[in-house]
Amino acid sequence: MIIAIPDDYHNLVRTLDCLKTLEGHEVRIFNDVAPAEAKLVANLRDADIIVPIRERTRFTRGIIEQLPKLKLFSQTGRSFHHIDVEACNDRGIAILSGGHPSPYTVAEHTWALIMASWRDVARECDGMRKGIWRSRFNIGLRGKTLAILGLGTIGGLIAQTGASFGMRVLVWGRENSLNAAKAAGYETAASQDDLFAQADVLVIMARLSKDTRGLVKAAHLALMKPSALLINTARAELIEPGALVAALKAGRPGMAATDVYENEPVQRGDHPLLKLDNALCSNHSAWLEQGTYEAYFGEAFAHAAAFAAGKVTQFANTPKTK
């Protein structure tokens, strides 16, 4: 079968050991950055199986209907909200999704952003190169409030680290998050407003869905302290469009760090957050770790190989029989 892998703009898939799983199939890897629809369709037109890299490409009905040979989406990771499921069902295209192989790399990156922002590491290092020796105090994290919006597996790891620093952990989210917080001995906020108002460091860890898109409003950000730091390593769409930039300009919160953006990759530095001195931006690299890549793609490639061998009968959708 022809197995296509679009959006490998980091050019890393060819380096993976798990690629050997697809031996015997024709594997086509595309490194285009956000190609136009016509180019995307041309790349994928002959594919029997597509292995999307997370949610980098949105597979609409219009695109899917231009892929006549497609039989399977083998998704890296659990989420496939970027794929039109009904269009796949109508055309007999199966979807297989994976899991969350490792929560640690995102938790680690989140703490890297917290510490780099709180201690102003990037500016300090740049100043040293310019001959500037700073003479002002740092502010410690001990005793500060670490607020977490959504206490799932990754949020739990972030909370544990904060607690080990002597931070007060405060949680808000759905019932599962609140129950997990109580079981771990953390405090729960009275409301989402209360969470934002009390936070010294606020970490967004909610899962993106139709219900959580735009979960964080401008009004929530306006409640934050001028000294507070907001971290988003989850999804950019969890924050109301334009709200974070406006809030940082207004000084509430005083700082933000993000690893995620509405349109990725960000090219030529063309993003308003990159123009703000109180924003620290990394290039959606929280999950860009070799072991994590091997786990995500190893699972997706194993699913693709099993499907090609006729060994898969349970799917994440209900495709009509062709």
Q: How far apart are CA 264 and CA 255, in angstroms?
A: 22
Same domain, 94 and 112: no
Q: Which of 91, 220, 235, 303 is catalytic?
A: 235
Same domain, 95 and 110: no
> Cα dihedral angle (117, 208, 9, 13), rounded to 10 degrees?
100
Does 100 have pLDDT greater than 80? Answer: no
Same domain, 153 and 221: yes
284 catalytic? Reply is yes
Q: Give the domain extent around 233.
A: 104-281
Same domain, 48 and 32: yes
Same domain, 149 and 236: yes
Q: Specify if 33 maps to a domain.
A: yes
Chain segment 1-12, per-residue pLDDT in tens: 999 999 999 999
Q: How far apart are CA 216 and CA 224, in angstroms?
A: 12
- Could you tell me if 278 and 252 are in contact, meaning their C-beta atoms sit under 8 angstroms apart? no
Domains in the chain, number: 2
Does 165 have pLDDT greater than 80? Answer: yes
For residue 101, name the pLDDT band (cuts at 50, 70, 90): low
Does 322 have pLDDT greater than 70? Answer: no
109 catalytic? Reply is no
Q: How far apart are CA 49 and CA 81, in angstroms?
A: 18
Q: Which of 91, 109, 271, 284 is catalytic?
A: 284
Does 14 have pLDDT greater than 70? Answer: yes
Q: How far apart are CA 50 and CA 37, in angstroms?
A: 16
Phi and psi torsions of 83, nearest 5°:
-110, 130
Q: How far apart are CA 145 and CA 302, in angstroms?
A: 43
* CATH at residue 56: 3.40.50.720
For residue 136, name the pLDDT band (cuts at 50, 70, 90): confident
* Amino acid, single-letter form, for residue 267: Q
Question: Across residues 44-56, what is the average pLDDT?
Answer: 95
Same domain, 97 and 179: no
Same domain, 74 and 176: no
Q: Which of 220, 264, 271, 303 is catalytic?
A: 264
pTM of the model: 0.87
235 catalytic? Reply is yes
| CA 44 centroid distance within chain | 25
Cα→Cα distances 114→52, 201, 203, 216, Å:
30, 8, 9, 19
